[in-house]
Amino acid sequence: MSPSRIAARVRRIKPSPSTSAADRANELRRQGKSIVNLVVGEPDFDTPAHIRQAAAAAIEKGQTRYTLMAGTVELRQAIAAKLERENGLVYALNEIIATSGAKSAIYSAFSITLEPGDEVIIPAPYWVSYPDMVLACDGVPVIVACPEAKGFKLTPTQLEAAITPKTRWLLINSPSNPTGASYTAEEYRALADVLLRHPQVLVMTDDIYEHIRFDDRRTPHLLNAAPELRERTLAVNGVSKTYAMTGWRIGWVAGPRDLVQALDTLLSQSTGNCCSVSQAAAAAALNGDQRFIGESVATYKQRRDHTLARINAIPGLSCRAPDGAFYLYVNCAGLIGKTTPDGRRLGEDGDVVMHLLESVGVAVVAGTAYGLSPYFRLSIATSLDILDEGCARIARAVAELH
């Protein structure tokens, strides 16, 4: 057999499960089947008008050329102002770099820091891409299961037990995808006390859902609770979720100068600078009218409350109310062991998800993709009518089990 032409670092990762699920739902729809797609994690709102207008104005002004690798001064100033205004964090422009989405920021941060065998602690449930990004950068993902009984959050005891001499990173996402769990300042402080005993461990905070939370409070940041970790922390964020700008592909990293400079070097030889027009739009988003955030979050909260009640009324399913983000992580343990009308036994959450898709045309993502079973994730970033239809179909699919 001839050797593979594909590098080992690529062969050991898999396609994004959420992307694969969305592709499967779309394929069934193209075949003429009625599909309620509750997979995709992106706002269903249009990007606010003033942001779109800023992009159009940038085009008309000829701002369509290369920018500084780290991003335009205007955008980095807007990011710095946002971090100080909303998070109480002060960064110089040379401590900030704009990236082509937050996903690129996380992958690139691993690329500049991981040597073969370095370990990255990832609390589960986790966003599906985290472990594979670590593997693609020759690292070792160390998955720590954070059960529902503990609020789906990492405890100091778990963190201490997971750290080894090879630990390079702790990655925290709050509010999280898929559970919506959010750490408090007190919980951050307790984790920081552990980290201070292990100076070799860097910390990455994925803050992409910080504004989408349902208790009318500001999301605390790890560095608010533990400012002494600043020189070991990369804060990752972007405009995708907050401003309904997923397709604009603008994220950023704020952190220690040496890490940001290394990112600048790597990206200069890989992706290059972000889209200039998108940078102008992102600056307008951060500097402009912020009313869209409150309005969209109110809509998400209405959807959360409504869908949560519908799901929790279905026998065999239960769901903890998420603190933020726009997902429900539904516990389907009550369905494991049941049998479908055609005689198939549901042995794990992947079987449950396939039953929902094949029997009633509802597309969701199995908990195995997020590292904690038996669950499935459904997105509430869609209309109440679609969510109602999805819940009705799920109830019908569950009722036919025995």
> Phi and psi (nearest 5°) for 283?
-60, -40
pLDDT at 15: 80
User: In 3D, which of 227, 218, 254 has the Cα closest to residue 238?
Assistant: 254
Cut 0.85: pTM above it: yes
Dump pLDDT digits (tens) for 160-171: 999 999 999 999
Q: Whole-angstrom Cα distance, residue 156 to residue 161?
A: 9
Structural domain boundaries in the chain: 8-46+292-397, 62-287
- C-alpha angle 163-142-372 in degrees, rounded to nearest 5: 125
Task: State the burial class of residue 280 (Cβ atoms within 10 Å of its Cβ: 0-12, 13-18, 19+).
Answer: buried
Mean of all residue pLDDT scores within the chain? 96
Segment 125-152, tens digit of pLDDT: 999 999 999 999 999 999 999 999 999 9
Q: pLDDT confidence of 2, banded at 50, 70, 90?
A: low
Using CB atoms within 10 Å of the CB of residue 345, give its burial: 0 to 12 exposed, 13 to 18 middle, 19+ buried.
Answer: exposed
Question: What is residue 354's predicted lDDT score, i.e. its pLDDT?
Answer: 92
Cα dihedral 261/86/123/387 (nearest 10): -120
- What is the model's pLDDT at position 32? 85
Q: What is 8-46+292-397's CATH number?
A: 3.90.1150.10
Q: pLDDT at position 216, please? A: 87
- CA dihedral for 197, 256, 272, 176, sign (positive or negative): positive
According to CATH, what is the number of the domain 62-287?
Answer: 3.40.640.10
